[in-house]
Chains A and B, each alone.
Chain A
């Protein structure tokens, strides 16, 4: 521990301990309760007819045969829903110039991507619903697809949405310092173009929603596989014109999310609309092909980048031009501006360079919407920056590590504001890099690499330094008008038996949220963890909060839990003081007991609980026990916390086949206070593997007509155990001083940094051939093409 945390740094503290997750046993026994596992009376099933074209006008839609099909309850089209909802628009006022048209649950007259839902069949089973979908007679008039980003933005391009005037969804320019002058005076300029394919989240549990409307009491209950129950409640109430009191959202077990399950999807909204229309529970679970064409996609960038350096390796200037495609709509409510915005905000942010220019253009296209997915923008910003640094090092004849050493923001230079305007409270780039080099035995690996090269074995070493943006404050979304809460709450109750029930606004998708909260609460209250019950995911049981995204679960939810636990502790000690006729300040909690300063047990928490709830008659007059406490937390000093780290990849390249074998991966991560190393480490590793997926395998391949060519998990490659390396993780702890807990978040660092390390390693292996690969995923054919063997 690098900073004192008196409240929980106690002998029996769980903070910093590798405690397994109590709630994981249920999942390992096959007793998870995902949405598709719920069984409700009168449940009907929804299947969608989706547009098979990238861009088409709906000429006619005949549902007569489908309506008569066996088991069909109702066939629903856009006409049936008209007037029953308010369409949504994916813009936020603080992204100046961001534009997007209103979006609807079902296509009215024009579809703008392959997979956009057009009609829904509600039937007694999913299969019967699908049978009837096939009976819908539909006539389309195909319209010209708009798949290429550059073509969409070219002068004279036909706007996808005529009312918006052009295909520029959003743009942002940054010009800091004296960029032109720095390039003019530079000793060395490197430049390169990069491209990043579209990929998607592939949650193993597809998006799932079960909406149940009870017309008798006017209440809508939605079980959904989501990261943000309160946000969804607000959205359902707002867009379906229901009072907030009438809507309850419950997120039970969630089978992976990664940012996929935090957006508003037309088919989800249609399912809710159908429940309201029919007054009975209806369920929609995306199948795998539907997931590929309707889940949000991510990335798809083309970037031209230049870096200017002095002879001594000082980075003098950096300039990037990013074009990214977001499909036909900016996604609601977070908008699709954030990915590109983070690319231009984060590129180069960990180096001292003050001269920075960036130009971002976000294009509409006729492909599925892209928006926030794990490590939003980070893999792009990191890959581009770190690739340029490696190129520059080669051009200057310096070791890539040495070039980084000379340019990283020094560990004693904080607080620091980047050229793009981001504020860093305190990071540890230099320490992280040095720790990484020791961990991986950098010099030893370089020797091994040189040795093997003589034997025609081509290994590469790639390093990436990076930052990760976490714990956003209200300036991220709320300020722009989104119903997205930056704060989170925790309510704790001492129960009569001396145990604690604790409800938190942050949610669990397997990261270990419930365990983390229980560790903090148990530590603060001097209780064993099995005396703590944590409740998440239900808008009627949990305090208001934003949920789990942007790696905020521990940094924000954990801090609320800590402050709430300390408030409950004060209440308990007040009551115990009255019962024992002692000064509360002279008492403490330990091992389930109220103890005195010397640690002597005075009274058990069970006795306190019993007296409060059952034997109020024994309490001194005027004493009113308050054994519930709630605290909320929202970071205010900094718009974001930032974490930092360094990663390294070691791999072997087969120059005949283009295949890459990953040998080992290392991560040094400074996520502030580490509450549970066991959980943080596998969280980071999971992030690394998702990053490697994007770097080497994952790509939603579209043809020129906007048709997805690989919509199955046999064709779309996700990383498998056999191709992944062991991943060594080490920590540096620089707690944020803004909170007592000091945690900053760890969910996305792996994904943000891994692609850069891997791409650098591939190019390091290719160095003897004087060729480079700058397009991700680095598929074997791309390696061979670079080697002139394509």
Chain B
């Protein structure tokens, strides 16, 4: 309803800024308006629609991406802040296989319903497992509390992350 939301535009180009960054391993150069948000940049400029808008406020995690390897909320970042950065999204992390065990576990456990939260959930789960390969159920719940899911009861998601942890441990040489 206007004004209430964070600015989302590729227009107002008179003060456009050139940025160069890496997105999912590919070099990207664009002229962007200062007010262009990272989520709109990914979705509208690059066609990476797997990153979603939901709360537009940093609360829900639907817009989660990796910036220089760290979890970040796309909705709280402007594209011009990312000159020189390395951004990874659900699309790139799927293609590289980085999320494969987590995705397989989410599938097997039915830890996904509408799928709108899933990209953020998967990235958050993967980040947890990278820093804590053997999390308890409580630790999984705590780590995923910045990612809202409105469909599942979270139980299956916790099960899936625990399964993925076991699978990663099993595959470790």
Binding site for B on A (CB under 8 A): 20-21, 24-34, 36-37, 39, 47-50, 70-71, 115, 124-128, 130-131, 133-134, 201-206, 253-258, 285, 287-290, 293, 509-512, 678-679, 681-690, 711-714, 718-724, 726-727, 750
B93 CB, min distance to chain A CBs, angstroms: 8
Mind listing 5 A-B residue pairs with CB under 8 Å?
A: A128-B11, A204-B54, A206-B53, A713-B59, A723-B145
User: In the complex, what residues of A have CB within 8 A of residue B91's CB?
Assistant: 29-31
Q: A205, B107: Cβ atoms under 8 Å?
A: no
Q: B145, A29: Cβ atoms under 8 Å?
A: no
Option from B3, B12, B49, B150 in Cβ contact (under 8 Å) with A204:
B150
A512 CB, min distance to chain B CBs, angstroms: 8
> Which 6 pairs, one residue from A and one from B, show the smallest C-beta to C-beta distance?
A30-B50, A685-B153, A27-B115, A127-B9, A510-B113, A30-B90
Q: A289, B115: Cβ atoms under 8 Å?
A: no
User: B90-108: which have CB < 8 Å to A?
Assistant: 90-91, 94, 103, 106-108
A20-B108, A130-B2, A718-B150 are known contacts. Are A206 and B54 too (CB-CB below 8 A)?
yes
Question: Does B82 have its Cβ within 8 Å of any Cβ on chain A?
Answer: no
User: In the complex, what residues of B have CB within 8 A of residue A24's CB?
Assistant: 106-107, 110, 112, 115
User: B109-123: which have CB < 8 Å to A?
Assistant: 109-119, 122
A37-B49, A510-B151, A686-B152 are known contacts. Are A125 and B59 too (CB-CB below 8 A)?
no
Q: A288, B1: Cβ atoms under 8 Å?
A: no
Other than the given A24-B106, A689-B153, A720-B146, 20 more pairs (CB < 8 A) read A28-B112, A30-B48, A30-B94, A37-B43, A47-B2, A133-B1, A203-B150, A204-B60, A253-B114, A258-B150, A287-B4, A287-B53, A510-B115, A712-B57, A713-B60, A714-B57, A718-B150, A720-B148, A723-B145, A727-B155
Option from A115, A510, A686 in Cβ contact (under 8 Å) with B153:
A686
- In the bound complex, CA of A34 to CA of B117 (Å): 12
- In the bound complex, CA of A753 to CA of B141 (Å): 24
Which of A39, A201, A257, A682: most chain B CB closer than 10 A?
Answer: A682
- In the bound complex, CA of A205 to CA of B51 (Å): 12
Option from A39, A128, A201, A512 in Cβ contact (under 8 Å) with B47:
A39
User: In the complex, what residues of A have CB within 8 A of residue B89's CB?
Assistant: 30
Q: A689, B117: Cβ atoms under 8 Å?
A: no
B109 CB, min distance to chain A CBs, angstroms: 8
- In the bound complex, CA of A682 to CA of B112 (Å): 9
Question: Does B172 have its Cβ within 8 Å of any Cβ on chain A?
Answer: no
Which of B47, B56, B59: most chain A CB closer than 10 A?
Answer: B59
Question: Does B7 have its Cβ within 8 Å of any Cβ on chain A?
Answer: yes
Q: B119, A726: Cβ atoms under 8 Å?
A: no
Task: Output the nearest chain B residue to A728 by Cβ-Cβ distance.
Answer: B155
Question: Does B164 have its Cβ within 8 Å of any Cβ on chain A?
Answer: no
Q: A288, B118: Cβ atoms under 8 Å?
A: no
A127-B35, A721-B141 are known contacts. Are A29 and B90 too (CB-CB below 8 A)?
yes
Q: A289, B114: Cβ atoms under 8 Å?
A: no
Q: A682, B116: Cβ atoms under 8 Å?
A: no
Q: A28, B5: Cβ atoms under 8 Å?
A: no
Task: Output the nearest chain B residue to A204 by Cβ-Cβ distance.
Answer: B116
B118 CB, min distance to chain A CBs, angstroms: 5
Task: Output the nearest chain B residue to A38 by Cβ-Cβ distance.
Answer: B49
User: In the complex, what residues of A have CB within 8 A of residue B157's CB?
Assistant: 721
A30-B91, A48-B1, A689-B154 are known contacts. Are A204 and B148 too (CB-CB below 8 A)?
yes
Option from A70, A202, A289 in Cβ contact (under 8 Å) with B1:
A289
Question: Does B10 have its Cβ within 8 Å of any Cβ on chain A?
Answer: yes
Which of B7, B10, B50, B113: most chain A CB closer than 10 A?
Answer: B113
User: In the complex, what residues of B have CB within 8 A of residue A202's CB?
Assistant: 150
- In the bound complex, CA of A45 to CA of B149 (Å): 28
B48 CB, min distance to chain A CBs, angstroms: 8
Option from B58, B109, B150, B158 in Cβ contact (under 8 Å) with A690:
B150
- In the bound complex, CA of A127 to CA of B11 (Å): 8
- In the bound complex, CA of A619 to CA of B147 (Å): 59
- In the bound complex, CA of A47 to CA of B1 (Å): 7
Question: Does B18 have its Cβ within 8 Å of any Cβ on chain A?
Answer: no
Q: A134, B156: Cβ atoms under 8 Å?
A: no
- In the bound complex, CA of A33 to CA of B43 (Å): 12
Q: A718, B148: Cβ atoms under 8 Å?
A: yes
- In the bound complex, CA of A124 to CA of B8 (Å): 12
Q: A29, B94: Cβ atoms under 8 Å?
A: yes
A127-B11, A134-B3 are known contacts. Are A727 and B115 too (CB-CB below 8 A)?
no
Question: Does B137 have its Cβ within 8 Å of any Cβ on chain A?
Answer: yes
- In the bound complex, CA of A454 to CA of B171 (Å): 48
- In the bound complex, CA of A31 to CA of B89 (Å): 12
User: In the complex, what residues of B have CB within 8 A of residue A256's CB?
Assistant: 113-114, 116, 150-151
Q: A29, B156: Cβ atoms under 8 Å?
A: no
Q: A289, B4: Cβ atoms under 8 Å?
A: yes
Q: A124, B113: Cβ atoms under 8 Å?
A: no
Option from B1, B118, B156 in Cβ contact (under 8 Å) with A290:
B1
Question: Does B144 have its Cβ within 8 Å of any Cβ on chain A?
Answer: yes
Q: B5, A686: Cβ atoms under 8 Å?
A: no
A309 CB, min distance to chain B CBs, angstroms: 35
- In the bound complex, CA of A509 to CA of B144 (Å): 23
B5 CB, min distance to chain A CBs, angstroms: 4
B100 CB, min distance to chain A CBs, angstroms: 10
Question: Does B55 have its Cβ within 8 Å of any Cβ on chain A?
Answer: yes
User: In the complex, what residues of A have CB within 8 A of residue B35's CB?
Assistant: 127
Q: A713, B47: Cβ atoms under 8 Å?
A: no
Q: A28, B9: Cβ atoms under 8 Å?
A: no
A204-B52, A255-B116, A288-B56 are known contacts. Are A71 and B90 too (CB-CB below 8 A)?
no
User: In the complex, what residues of B have CB within 8 A of residue A130's CB?
Assistant: 2-3, 5, 7-8
Question: Does B62 have its Cβ within 8 Å of any Cβ on chain A?
Answer: yes
- In the bound complex, CA of A61 to CA of B154 (Å): 47
A28-B122, A37-B49, A289-B4 are known contacts. Are A750 and B153 too (CB-CB below 8 A)?
yes
User: In the complex, what residues of B have CB within 8 A of residue A49's CB?
Assistant: 1-2
Q: B54, A125: Cβ atoms under 8 Å?
A: no
A454 CB, min distance to chain B CBs, angstroms: 26
B81 CB, min distance to chain A CBs, angstroms: 18
User: B125-173: which have CB < 8 Å to A?
Assistant: 137, 140-142, 144-158
Option from B10, B48, B58, B122 in Cβ contact (under 8 Å) with A714:
B58
- In the bound complex, CA of A712 to CA of B50 (Å): 23
Task: Output the nearest chain A residue to B47 by Cβ-Cβ distance.
Answer: A39
User: In the complex, what residues of B have CB within 8 A of residue A682's CB?
Assistant: 110-111, 113, 152-153, 155-156
Q: B142, A288: Cβ atoms under 8 Å?
A: no
Which of A39, A509, A721, A727: most chain B CB closer than 10 A?
Answer: A721
User: In the complex, what residues of A have CB within 8 A of residue B94's CB?
Assistant: 28-30
User: In the complex, what residues of B have CB within 8 A of residue A115's CB?
Assistant: 1
Q: B148, A125: Cβ atoms under 8 Å?
A: no
A28-B112, A204-B148, A253-B115 are known contacts. Are A36 and B53 too (CB-CB below 8 A)?
yes
B1-28 vs A, CB cutoff 8 Å, 1 = contact: the mask equals 1111101111110000000000000000
